[in-house]
Chain A
Amino acid sequence: SYELTQPPSVSVSPGQTARITCSGDALPKQYAYWYQQKPGQAPVLVIYKDSERPSGIPERFSGSSSGTTVTLTISGVQAEDEADYYCQSADSSGTYPSVFGTGTKVTVL
């Protein structure tokens, strides 16, 4: 199976920067996507194609890629950013066309 590994949790104070990593062997060849999910709600896309931001998503959300790791950065974290975050990508062979990461709980202290 193909796995995307994220840290289980990240804690950050308001106004600081949160960085969430996602690691996977195929990430140098496949785009990554990031989703925010708040309790009881459906996920929301916050980054697509590694670093593109959908309309309506605040500029404090950004994405980057380096080798087998992609990173979601939240600059100037606000209380409303407390949520679970998931990366999504695919393997390089086409066997796993879509896989979600293990998820990261972001806690705003």
Chain B
Amino acid sequence: QVQLQESGPGLVKPSETLSLTCTVSGGSISSYYWSWIRQPPGKGLEWIGYIYYSGSTNYNPSLKSRVTISVDTSKNQFSLKLSSVTAADTAVYYCAREGVRGVNAWGQGTLVTVSS
């Protein structure tokens, strides 16, 4: 059974770049789409974007100018970079596996707080 685990700083300063990595275990990253989804405290889910193992990406238009998702198949990892963060980017960030049957595997989520 595939498992996903987010890692990265829990505190980022305003205007800096948020960087998170998701490690996939129990299965190969060389299939499916690999997504980042976030949830501000007390609010709903927001899809950030996904990457296919080949490297093709698709992003939420509202975040596209600030988001980069990359994949390292040799490490079975994929990563998120979100630039020029503000307090509005404070959220629980989930990495997930997405396919034609929906998002069927999620990491536990990691809280990232944007504050000086």
Residue numbers of A with Cβ under 8 A of B are 1, 33, 35, 37, 42-45, 48-49, 52, 54, 86, 88, 95-103
Q: Give the most central of A44, A95, A100, A102: most B CB within 10 Å.
A: A100
CA of A54 to CA of B109 in the docked complex: distance in angstroms? 22
Q: Which residue from B58, B107, B108 sits with its C-beta under 8 Å from A97?
A: B58
Q: Are A1 and B62 interface neighbours, CB within 8 A?
A: yes
* B residues contacting the other copy or chain, number (CB 8 A): 22
With a cutoff of 8 Å between Cβ atoms, the chain B residues found around residue A44 in the complex are 106
CA of A33 to CA of B60 in the docked complex: distance in angstroms? 18
Q: Are A42 and B106 interface neighbours, CB within 8 A?
A: yes
In residues 32-60 of chain B, which contact A (Cβ within 8 Å)? Answer: 35, 37, 44-47, 50, 58, 60
With a cutoff of 8 Å between Cβ atoms, the chain A residues found around residue B108 in the complex are 42
Q: Are A99 and B104 interface neighbours, CB within 8 A?
A: no
Q: Which residue from A48, A52, A102 sits with its C-beta under 8 Å from B44?
A: A102
- Verify if B26 is at the interface (C-beta below 8 Å from A): no
Q: Which residue from B46, B102, B109 sits with its C-beta under 8 Å from A42?
A: B109
Q: Give the most central of B94, B103, B107, B109: most A CB within 10 Å.
A: B103
Q: Give the most central of A35, A42, A49: most B CB within 10 Å.
A: A42
